[in-house]
Every structure is written in C-alpha cells, then in structure tokens.
Homo-oligomer: A and B are copies of this chain.
C-alpha cells in the first residue's frame, strides 16, 4: 500500500553535477546542480536545469556553452560549497584552491581537479517555471586516466561519484555492482 506524498521533487538517485561557465567578464565559475542527466544518444546531449536567478544561468545564456563535471565522493566538501556560495560574490575556484581550465572545444571552463567532465554547446533552452532547462550537445568527454577501467572507459567504482537525495538533502556514494545490464534480466 503506497502513501501519497504530494507533488514533490523526489527521484532517486539524482546526480551531483558541477556546471562550469564563464561570465561576460571571462570569470570562471562552478555551480552544483542535481537536476540534470543524459537526454539523447544521437546527437549526444545532456540537460541541466538552473533557476533564472543564478549567476550560472546568466553565464550560460551569455556564452551558449557549459561543462558538467562529476566530482568523486572525496570531493564532497568542495562540491557542496559550489552549491552554497555564489559566483557573483566570490571566486569559487580561488576559495577551494581549484584550477580553472579553459575548454579547447567550447566557451566554458572546468576544474582540473574534477576527474570527469563533459563539454557542451548549448542547443536548446526550455523555460519550465522556476527552472530553465539547458540542453547541451556533448562535444567531448574527458576523464583522468586513473578512473578508467581496462576497457579504456570510466569505471564507476574508480570514479566513485556522488548521488544526491532530494528528500533529506544528503549526498551518497555510488557503490557496489548490483548486476549487468541487458543480462541480469534474462534469468
């Protein structure tokens, strides 16, 4: 028997994404966002939603590009800070001691310290209400060598990304293998 909880922003897991942008004065910024993910396989697209009031929202509109970085769970403090502070008042890269790297493909930065990053060109902007959804075409994916598996692709266990729980506002580690997709269901 299910209990009704009303219309709430609940879904599990949501990712912890660090949105990298330049503002109109070329200042690099990172913002922590959980409303986002992959949305198309061809062309490869990702989506992330930001409130219009945010500094990063204005930057994406101005520069038409962004990056999505995935921090490891060991970077939970820095990631959370990116969701607390605003780039309109502080230089978050300076505050946490991270290095902003200019993407060679899109007009946006990412942090050298983040092990995984997706570089995107803005292709669609959808006004939904409190949030604006930005859809980016993925131009490249970059990863640190130490998070790659034997197949040369990122290994979730080595990356050890964070997941956000919207209810109790806690970050969780993504952990043990539960099964192989397109296989475990064959019985």
Interface, chain A (partner B; CB < 8 A): 1-15, 17, 34-47, 49, 51, 68, 70, 73, 76-84, 116-118, 124, 126, 128-131, 133, 135, 137-145, 148-149, 151-157, 159, 161-187
Using known A-B contacts A15-B14, A36-B37, A124-B126, determine if residue A156 contacts B170 with beta carbons closer than 8 Å.
yes
Closest to A48 in B: B39
B141 and A6: CB pair below 8 A? yes
B178 and A172: CB pair below 8 A? yes
A12 and B159: CB pair below 8 A? yes
**What are some 28 contacts across the A-B interface (CB < 8 A)?**
A3-B142, A5-B141, A5-B143, A5-B153, A5-B154, A7-B44, A7-B138, A8-B44, A11-B38, A11-B70, A13-B163, A35-B39, A39-B49, A39-B131, A39-B133, A40-B128, A41-B131, A45-B129, A47-B133, A80-B185, A83-B182, A133-B135, A149-B168, A156-B170, A156-B172, A157-B172, A171-B184, A175-B175
